[in-house]
Structure 1
Amino acid sequence: MLGYAEIPAYVVESSEQDCMVMSLVENVARRNHSAPELLREIDALRGAGYSDPEIATKVGLSVAYLQDVLMLMEHGEERLLAAVDSGTVPIALAIQISRATDTEVQRALADAYAAGALKGRQIAIVRRLIQRRALTGNAIPRHGTSSTESQALTPERLRKMYIKAGEKQRLLVKKAELVDIRLNFLVEALRDLLGNPDFVETLRSEGFATLPHALQQRIFREAT
């Protein structure tokens, strides 16, 4: 338990009902560590020279989650760490935000969450959206790079960015549905026409003896 082979303990003999009551009392009394306490404990253990697996065992975390916490401690922007310390931003969400390399983006995402403009899952979506825009050369203007203050990364602007991305996604879904409807109509029409010997003979006489492979597969697969 927590890296110890042995622990001091009192062995109590009692009835099953009393044991259940004592167990319930212990569960109610047990206090989970807050995010600031967890960060301080991890920092102290690292300072004492413990390895990541040893620290993970002692604090009851998986090694992968511990490494995410360490990344937050090493690369997290100051205001983000302060938000975790004050309990404004949950540590799991702070880890998501810290994966954004730009410090202003980290601040903006933390502010957007604190203001209620974005929820947990939306934070990750907006972060990935910002990173994709930066990679494709459509980076969002920062302070000092635009003549208008409205270009700053405000919580409201991030919220609108999320809404716009959602609208684009819905538009893509509608387009895909429209293409599927048209394709189904085409498949049904061709299937009926190919069942007409005169039409097939006319195609052959005009030199159209074959269909595109993908279309042919769909027509005859659905027919069977």
Structure 2
Amino acid sequence: MQPETFPHQIVMISIDQIKIINPRPRNKFIHDGIKESINKRGLSKPVTVRRIEDPIYFYALVCGQGRIEAILGLGESLVPAIIRDISEEDAYIMSLAENIVRRKPRSNELLEVVRTMNKKGLTDSEIAEILGYSGSWVSYIRKLLEKGEHKLLSAADRGEIPLYLAVEFSKCNNEDSQRLLVDAYENKLIKTKDIQKIRGILNQRQEGRKGNNTLAYSQRKDSKRMTTDELMKMYKDTIHEHRSILDHSDFINEKLTIINEIFTKLLQHDSFIKLASEEKLAEIPNHILIAINGDNKND
């Protein structure tokens, strides 16, 4: 297994140089567990500190009080630390975030922590490091929060849809399209690989209607919500239409290839060239070949 990596440099700091602001009492059972774990496996995660101006201390602790107490209990005087250049307010947020994560927070608490840290300018990777989640998880959450997609966040939290699909659904142009996709996914009517295509079709359909809002028929259609059955029919019809276009394109290309071969061979015969000249059609075959070959190059 690869060791955990951290985006900031880790240095060894003397514990007596670290000021623990607002120390919290620790459960002895938990404290002993941390100490035993460090004694057996070493410290898996460094503490986080920030520089301060103080007559006694060089640093203030941001995260890791339990780890420091456990290391002191083992008779050590140095601790691996990450030094962050952050304000006292940001340090408080980071400390609060770590405490929330440690006690298995409610989803709304965790989302609020991500929102607050993002507003403070922390990157996805920095937030992920503090919370102990992956960078992609933080990125997904941030995108949904920025769009105000609370329904999709709730659905993902309940396990109804994966988080990455919630982000995909959030790219729909309206809530009706979102509802259709979520319902179709929950009812196993669509596969994950088809969601992006269907979302694109729904968005194109919505964009097309924006230019026809003055038509009474369009207005009546817009007022009626599409069902999942209608969605699946529309998707299948669209796929069929695209396949028909591709088949027709292949048919045309095949015929053009045959025509190209015919005229190429005809132009190799002097009798054909002479006849075309007599009929004042000498340039026609070349124009046809240029047109055909030009189309083929564009393909």
CA contact (8 A) 1:130 1:139 kept: no
User: Which residue number corresponds to residue 17 of structure 1?
Assistant: none
User: Which residue number corresponds to residue 153 of structure 1?
Assistant: 226
User: Which residue number corresponds to residue 215 of structure 1?
Assistant: 292
CA contact (8 A) 2:140 2:163 kept: no
CA shift for structure 1 position 41: 3.7
User: Equivalents in 2 of 1:152, 1:60: separation in Å?
Assistant: 38
User: Equivalents in 1 of 2:140, 2:173: separation in Å?
Assistant: 14
CA shift for structure 1 position 101: 2.9
Residue deviations 1:87-123 (CA, integer Å, cap 9, x gap):
1111111110001131121122111111111121222
User: Which residue number corresponds to residue 170 of structure 1?
Assistant: 243
Question: Is 1:87 the counterpart of 2:127 in the alignment?
Answer: no
User: Equivalents in 1 of 2:267, 2:129: separation in Å?
Assistant: 69
Residue deviations 1:154-205 (CA, integer Å, cap 9, x gap):
2222211211111011101110111112112111211221121110112223
Query: Residues 1-224 of structure 1: matches in 2 within 5 Å?
Result: 1=5, 5=10, 9-10=38-39, 41=110, 43-48=112-117, 49=120, 51-53=122-124, 54-58=126-130, 59-62=133-136, 66-75=138-147, 77-137=149-209, 146=220, 151-210=224-283, 211-212=286-287, 213-215=290-292
Which amino acid in 2 is paired with 1:205? E
User: Equivalents in 2 of 1:78, 1:118: separation in Å?
Assistant: 23
User: Which residue number corresponds to residue 19 of structure 1?
Assistant: none
User: Equivalents in 1 of 2:212, 2:227: separation in Å?
Assistant: 11
After superposition, the Cα gap between the structure-2 partners of 1:2 and 1:45, relative to the gap in structure 1 and judged at 3 Å, is farther
User: Which residue number corresponds to residue 26 of structure 1?
Assistant: none
CA contact (8 A) 1:84 1:91 kept: yes
CA contact (8 A) 1:130 1:140 kept: no
- Percent identical residues: 23
Q: Which runs of 5+ in 2 are unaligned?
A: 13-36, 42-104, 214-218
Q: Which runs of 5+ in 1 are unaligned?
A: 13-35
CA contact (8 A) 1:134 1:140 kept: no
Q: Which has the higher helix share?
A: 1
178-187 or 78-87, larger mean C-alpha shift: 78-87
After superposition, the Cα gap between the structure-2 partners of 1:84 and 1:175, relative to the gap in structure 1 and judged at 3 Å, is same
After superposition, the Cα gap between the structure-2 partners of 1:140 and 1:209, relative to the gap in structure 1 and judged at 3 Å, is closer
TM-align CA RMSD? 3.7
TM-score, structure 1 normalization: 0.69
The higher relative CO (CA closer than 8 Å, separation ≥ 6) is in 1
CA shift for structure 1 position 69: 3.0
After superposition, the Cα gap between the structure-2 partners of 1:147 and 1:184, relative to the gap in structure 1 and judged at 3 Å, is closer
Q: How many residues align?
A: 192
